Homo-oligomer: A and B are copies of this chain.
Amino acid sequence: MAAITIFGNGNMGQALDSVFTAGGNTVTHIDRDDAVENLGDIVVLAVPYPVAVSIAKAQAAQLAGKVVIDISNPLNFDTWDELVVPADSSATAELAKLLPDSQVIKAFNTTFAATLASKQVSGKEVTTVLAAGDNAAAKQMLADALKTSGVKVIDAGALKRARELEAMGFLQMTLAASEKIGWTGGFAILN
């Protein structure tokens, strides 16, 4: 159990609230313009990527020592045909550069809000959260916080793997936007 602070209260922010609450954690929300005091051990940036960048730039000192979760899919939402981060990098890697004293993790970008809230993909398979980051203890803290939540967590490797997680999230969004899958379905991860 941990104290969780979620930036953002949109669809993903609310779904994250429900799943972390189900895991027995204490959850508080914060707006991007709120004073960032009394942050929890885990801070989730459930905001669009450009806003996450703004928060990281403005609040690096307050986020120092925290486990910071980047859930963003940094699409070019004008074209839906590319990401806005350098091709050899990732949103998470860019945020980690801005937050050198935080432990930055990529997670939740490959789960739609609906599959996170319901904890099932297409009502059939348990929702799996893929998490990538360079600090094993930080990833373990996230896994512990979700242990009894009803969603499964898989360590997807180093921070470098955020690039692949973002590609996968992007692909999944394009499939849903083109009605090849539903927003309650998508990629289930089976053993």
Within 8 A of B (CB), among A135-191: 154-158, 160-161, 163-165, 167-168, 170-171, 174-175, 178, 180-182, 185-191
In the bound complex, CA of A122 to CA of B189 (Å): 9
From the candidates B88, B125, B160, B167, name the one contacting A188 in the complex (CB within 8 A): B125
Q: How far is the CB of A155 from chain B (nearest CB, A)?
A: 7
From the candidates B124, B165, B182, B186, name the one contacting A171 in the complex (CB within 8 A): B165
A190 engages B186 (CB within 8 Å): yes
Q: Which residues of B contact A182 (CB under 8 A)?
A: 191
Most chain B CB neighbours (cut-off 10 Å) among A81, A124, A165, A190: A190
Q: Which residues of B contact A174 (CB under 8 A)?
A: 156-157, 161, 164
Binding site for B on A (CB under 8 A): 81-82, 86-88, 121-122, 124-125, 130, 154-158, 160-161, 163-165, 167-168, 170-171, 174-175, 178, 180-182, 185-191
Q: Which residues of B contact A170 (CB under 8 A)?
A: 164
B178 engages A189 (CB within 8 Å): no
In the bound complex, CA of A79 to CA of B122 (Å): 35
Q: Which residues of B contact A191 (CB under 8 A)?
A: 122, 181-182, 185
Q: Which residues of B contact A82 (CB under 8 A)?
A: 160
From the candidates B158, B168, B190, name the one contacting A122 in the complex (CB within 8 A): B190
In the bound complex, CA of A81 to CA of B82 (Å): 22
In the bound complex, CA of A178 to CA of B125 (Å): 22
A187 engages B187 (CB within 8 Å): yes
Most chain B CB neighbours (cut-off 10 Å) among A81, A157, A185: A157
